[in-house]
């Protein structure tokens, strides 16, 4: 039975492996003398998460009292199981395992990386996209340029991107803090052509002949056009 549950569990995880990871949600729950299974259903009904577990291995019939005021799901589960049941969050799944099965959660354990993103002058950058490279797991920096992201085991690097800034990829090391500085993206004006419609295009992308005009000739043309208009 344990082997059957393990195979089913791994198959389900493979199906959802490509989905984006959801950050922890804050909930308020006040439930008295209810089954653990009812508490889990209440969490599912009020969040984007759902639970994976075997009722034969996890006692969800036990009755409990839960009083949580704007607490994370992790904190609620710690109150609910009091260390008797281990759990891991993966994408939108919360996987529950009994003590003797805790080893199967290892591939899904996360760690939290925090840090600050600034520009070259040391000013914080809000709204920077921070993504686990090669995945859709990500977050954005707050008004102070700070971010907090939970990364899956095996993640190699974080990618930082922001409009007008050069995209930066930083390797994940043993430290749980990664502060970065983004540099402005320099646009080479020599490679930009303004078409008759005012749309900027690369010269090679245009389907018709173009002629480059330097600043001196442009001023001459503008002078003639102005005189004609008068």
- Determine the Cα–Cα distance for residues 191 and 205; give it in Å rounded to an integer: 11
**Region of residue 91 (phi > 0: left; psi between -120 and 50: alpha; otherwise: beta):** left
Could you say which residues of the chain have pLDDT below 70? Answer: 1-24, 90-91, 99-110, 187-230
What's the distance, CA 23 to chain centroid? 8
Q: What is the pLDDT of residue 161?
A: 95
- The CATH number assigned to the domain with range 2-108 reads 3.55.50.30
* Distance in angstroms (rounded) separating the CA atoms of residues 120 and 102: 45
Alpha carbon distance 213, 201 (integer Å)? 15
User: What's the pLDDT at 188?
Assistant: 61
Per-residue confidence (pLDDT) for residue 133, from 0 to 100:
92
What's the pTM?
A: 0.44
pLDDT at 86: 79
CA dist 163 to 26, 141, 187, 188, 204, Å? Answer: 31, 13, 12, 16, 24
Encode the chain in three state secondary structure. Answer: CHHHHHHHHHHHHHHCCCCCCCCCCEEEEEEEEEEHHHHHHHHHHCCCCEEECCCCCCCCCCEEEEEEEEEEHHHHHHHHHCCCEEEEEECCEEEEEEHHHHHHHHHHCEEEEEEEEECCCCCECCCCEEEECCCCCEEECCCCCEEEEEEECCCCEEEEECCCECCEEEECCCCCECCEECCECCCCHHHEEECCCCCEEEHHHCCCCCCCCCHHHHHHHHHHHHHHHC
What is the reported pLDDT for 11? 36
Angle CA 208–209–211, to nearest 5: 140
Domain ranges of the chain: 2-108, 110-181, 189-229
The CATH number of domain 110-181 is 1.20.1560.10:
no
> What pLDDT, on a 0 to 100 scale, did the predictor assign at position 123?
95
Question: What are the tens digits of pLDDT across the range 162-186?
Answer: 999 999 999 998 889 999 999 998 7
The pLDDT value given to residue 212: 55
Question: What is residue 122's predicted lDDT score, i.e. its pLDDT?
Answer: 94
């Amino acid at each position: 039975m344990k082997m059957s549950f393990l195979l089913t569990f791994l198959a389900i995880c493979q199906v959802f492996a490509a989905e984006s990871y959801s950050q922890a949600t804050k909930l308020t729950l006040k439930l008295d003398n209810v089954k653990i299974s009812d508490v889990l259903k209440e969490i599912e009904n009020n969040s984007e998460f759902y639970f994976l577990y075997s009722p034969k291995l996890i006692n969800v019939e036990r009755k409990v009292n839960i009083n949580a005021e704007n607490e994370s799901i992790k904190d609620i589960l710690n109150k609910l199981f009091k260390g008797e049941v281990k759990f891991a969050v993966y994408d939108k799944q919360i996987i529950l395992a009994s003590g003797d099965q805790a080893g199967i959660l290892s591939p899904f354990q996360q760690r939290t990386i925090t840090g600050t993103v600034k520009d070259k002058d040391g000013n914080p950058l809000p709204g920077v996209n921070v993504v686990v490279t090669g995945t859709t797991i990500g977050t954005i920096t707050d008004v102070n340029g700070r971010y907090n992201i939970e990364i899956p085991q095996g993640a190699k690097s974080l990618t930082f991107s922001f409009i007008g800034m050069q995209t930066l990829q930083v390797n994940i090391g043993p430290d749980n803090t990664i502060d970065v500085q983004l540099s402005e993206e320099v646009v080479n004006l020599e490679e930009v052509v303004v078409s008759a419609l005012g749309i900027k295009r690369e010269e090679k992308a245009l389907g018709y002949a173009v002629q480059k005009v330097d600043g001196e000739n442009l001023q001459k043309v503008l002078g003639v056009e102005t005189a004609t208009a008068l």
